[in-house]
Structure 1
Amino acid sequence: MDTPPIIEVDNVLISLDCLTEKFCCDLEKCNGECCVEGDAGAPVTLDEIGGIEDSLDTVWDDLSASAQAVIDKQGVAYIDQEGCMVTSIVNGKDCVFTCHDKGCCYCTLEKAYRSGKTRFCKPISCYLYPIREVKIGEDMVGLNYHVWDVCKCAREKGKELDVPVYKFLKQPLIQRFGEKWYESLEEVVKELKANGYIK
């Protein structure tokens, strides 16, 4: 029986590995390396830039001097080589909103949000990782599972705990697409299991 490589739920195309692969962040092992690795910032929307700018005064003192200098020069975001709007970075890799505590990297935006100081948490592109969203035409988006070396420990922990990517990302997916959409996704997964497409 052939397994469908892509699933559609209410105009959202989902690659099958988002449902079958296992993932669970292991911050104690990776130390938040995703915030400081790579060659571009996190993709952001214009609305998210507004939310970041509204939070800037609150998180400013938690930012490094280098990050503050970058923001003073070019703002909280810039257009990368692929033409996407992304968060500004320091030294060609570190997100400007990264802070370090006891050898671990954290997001100052999320830290302020969880402390009740701001209304904006962080870009949905960060919240949804390791799922990456791509726009397909006017009315459809695609969700792809992204494999990155720095997340090896998250894949190992996910396998150990048997946590599929879509379950690990339940709250971000609900935030992005809504609770009814997520319930529809769960129904699709049940149907795929019942028909022997996935375990």
Structure 2
Amino acid sequence: MVKQQLHILQVGNVLVSPDIFTEYFCCDLDACKGICCVEGDAGAPVELDEIAEIENCLDMVWGDLSASAQSVIDRQGVAYADRDGELVTSIVNGKDCAFTCYAGETCLCALERACREGRSRFVKPVSCSLYPIREKKFPGGISGINYHKWQICESARAKGREFNLPLYKFLKEPLIRRFGAEWYKELLELADELRVQGLI
């Protein structure tokens, strides 16, 4: 565990919660069935350029979406402003992401599936790829990332402990996608320093 004197850290212009180093995580779709895409009260945070990307590949995923999702998208588009004024993906029945689709009982992202199958080049919103890390933006170009602990992800925490996989390693690719390879290299160097000091 992180010792008490270890508080918020900084890598470049990103404030980093110690949880990123100390919490273990590895998604276990066999156990959770992708429930994070169908639980909650708002969609996934999206940037304006991501909304454009989603709109560009909408034809490729339209057939994978439920009739209810198609209706919501027809009515309000692929995204909306939530109660905090942040842009998020459209949702169905107050919770399900409009871009969910199913393989048996498991919920998948229609956007990601289309990308993996070569039907589009857009993977999915970076906020989805980063989960359970959440990003908050502050004035002056500063961002903060922290771990969002959700009960439905208990199987992922257990699997992460089994594989000794801390969050910053499990989410290597999304972190690089969001902040860049050089930033991630600095994050690894910080992790090494903390380990040498016995802080993680």
For the criterion TM > 0.5, the same-fold answer is yes
Counterpart in 2 of 1:185? 187
Give the paired residue count.
Answer: 198
Counterpart in 2 of 1:11? 13
Of 30, 42, 46, 1:44 maps to 46
**Structure 1 segments (4+ residues) deviating >6 Å:** none
- Flag structure 1 segments of 5+ consecutive residues without an equivalent: none
Give the partner amino acid of 1:159.
R
Counterpart in 1 of 2:98? 96
1:13/1:140 contact within 8 Å kept = yes
Distance 1:80 1:192 in 2: 38
Counterpart in 1 of 2:125? 123
Give the partner amino acid of 1:16.
P
Q: How much does 1:3 deviate?
A: 3.2
Distance 1:150 1:82 in 2: 24
For residue 187 of structure 2, give the secondary structure of its aligned residue in structure 1: helix
Q: Deviations over 1:103-127 (max 9, x none)?
A: 0000000000111111111001100
1:142 aligns with 2:139: no
Q: TM-score, normalised by structure 2?
A: 0.97
Distance 1:138 1:91 in 2: 37
1:176 aligns with 2:183: no
Q: Deviations over 1:65-95 (max 9, x none)?
A: 0000000000000011111110000000000
The RMSD of aligned alpha carbons is 0.9
Give the partner amino acid of 1:103.
E
Identity %: 60
Q: Deviations over 1:124-180 (max 9, x none)?
A: 110000000001212110001000011010001111111000000000000011111
For residue 78 of structure 1, give the secondary structure of its aligned residue in structure 2: strand
Distance 2:138 2:171 in 1: 21
Q: How much does 1:100 deviate?
A: 1.2
Q: How much does 1:22 deviate?
A: 0.3
For residue 147 of structure 1, give the secondary structure of its aligned residue in structure 2: coil
Q: How much does 1:17 deviate?
A: 0.6
Distance 1:152 1:187 in 2: 29
Q: Deviations over 1:9-56 (max 9, x none)?
A: 001110001111100000000000000000100000000000000010
Of 127, 150, 153, 1:151 maps to 153
1:2/1:197 contact within 8 Å kept = no
1:132/1:143 contact within 8 Å kept = yes
Distance 2:59 2:171 in 1: 29
Of 40, 63, 66, 2:65 maps to 63
Counterpart in 2 of 1:166? 168
For residue 43 of structure 2, give the secondary structure of its aligned residue in structure 1: coil
